[in-house]
């Protein structure tokens, strides 16, 4: 029962852990614009649109690139971009792109 309660409490806290600062994310997004567009809308089909994506999903994807858990496609490029990002940076970028209209 204690384990179930601990799991539920952790799950409830996950959204708060993934929250970032939209304004800070906007300031940090310059390197992302080359591929993902100025407003998170890519003009190149190879690169995904980020505008309006779920912040938790974006944060999870950035974390996975940093940990080397994603491969194929443009994963090597993304790994290089996220190498210097901290957890707060990734949360900020995720919040920023989630705030944009698709």
| Domain-wise residue ranges, the chain | 2-99
DSSP, collapsed to helix, strand or coil, labels residue 23 as: helix
Q: In whole angstroms, what is the distance from residue 17 CA to residue 12 CA? A: 10
Length of the chain: 102
Walk along the chain (102 residues) and give the pLDDT tens digit of each residue.
555 544 444 454 444 445 899 999 999 999 999 999 999 999 999 999 999 999 999 999 999 999 999 999 999 999 999 999 999 999 999 999 999 999
- pLDDT, one tens digit per residue, over 10-23 is 454 444 445 899 99
Q: Is the pTM of this model over 0.85?
A: no
Instruction: Please answer whether residues 58 and 94 qualify as being in contact, where contact means their C-beta atoms are separated by less than 8 angstroms.
Output: yes
2-99: which CATH architecture? Orthogonal Bundle (1.10)
Number of H helices, E strands in the chain: 6, 0
């Amino acid at each position: 029962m204690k384990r179930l309660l601990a799991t539920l409490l952790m799950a409830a806290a996950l959204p708060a852990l993934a929250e970032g600062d939209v304004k800070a994310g906007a300031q940090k997004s310059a390197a992302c614009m080359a591929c993902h567009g100025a407003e998170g809308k890519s003009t190149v089909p190879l690169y995904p649109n980020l505008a309006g994506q779920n912040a938790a999903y974006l944060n999870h994807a950035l974390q996975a690139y940093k940990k080397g858990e994603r491969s194929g496609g443009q994963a090597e490029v993304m790994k290089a971009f996220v190498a210097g990002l901290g957890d707060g940076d990734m949360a900020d970028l995720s919040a920023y792109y989630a705030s944009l209209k698709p």
